[in-house]
Amino acid sequence: MNPRTLLSLGALAGPIYLVVGLTQAVTRDGFDLTKHAWSLLSNGDLGWIQIANFLVAGILTVLGAIGLRSVLIGIYGVSLIGAGVFRADPAQGFPAGTTTDTMSWHGTLHFVVGGIGFLCLIAACVVLGRRYLAAGRRGFAWFSWITGVVFLAGFAGIASGSHGPTTIGFLVAVVLAWSWLTAVFWTSRS
């Protein structure tokens, strides 16, 4: 595939991930956007939908990263695939009736691969921001850096184990990051 096609495929990852995730978040019984991270949607009878969402978004992100020639974004894509392979454990009462006494090996790996991917995404925001600045694209440079800072803050909040406002903050960071990545892939096609 040529770089333009790869970047076009990469640009589909964010919209697909966000539409599928948000649709599940508002339709799954017991799921609460103010306290549950989207990774928890991998559980229950309909968990396969979020698992597929992780896998599809990951594959598309890797393809886009190849077109962009970005190792950091490629690692982020691989981490999404890992998040689909290694399901998060039920938590905070989702799905209804589940307990969170211990963390499983696959739940642990879900958070490890996610953490690695998130750090690579944040680093990519910094690296691409510098690249955009050098190319005279100040607006895109600032978009990149702001996305990285917001995502770092959201990731730190959710990693702290806090809920409520931090969960909403992380959701905002995820939407911003996918919007940024979609814009990066799309505008790099020319």
Domain boundaries of the chain, sorted by first residue? 3-187
Cα–Cα dist 80/93, whole Å: 24
3-state SS, residue 146: helix
Over the stretch 82-131, which tens digit does the pLDDT of each residue have?
999 999 999 888 898 887 768 899 999 999 999 999 999 999 999 999 99
**DSSP secondary structure code for residue 95 in this structure:** S
Distances (CA, A) of 87 to 58, 76, 182: 14, 17, 25
Over the stretch 123-172, which tens digit does the pLDDT of each residue have?
999 999 999 999 999 999 999 999 999 999 999 998 887 777 888 999 99
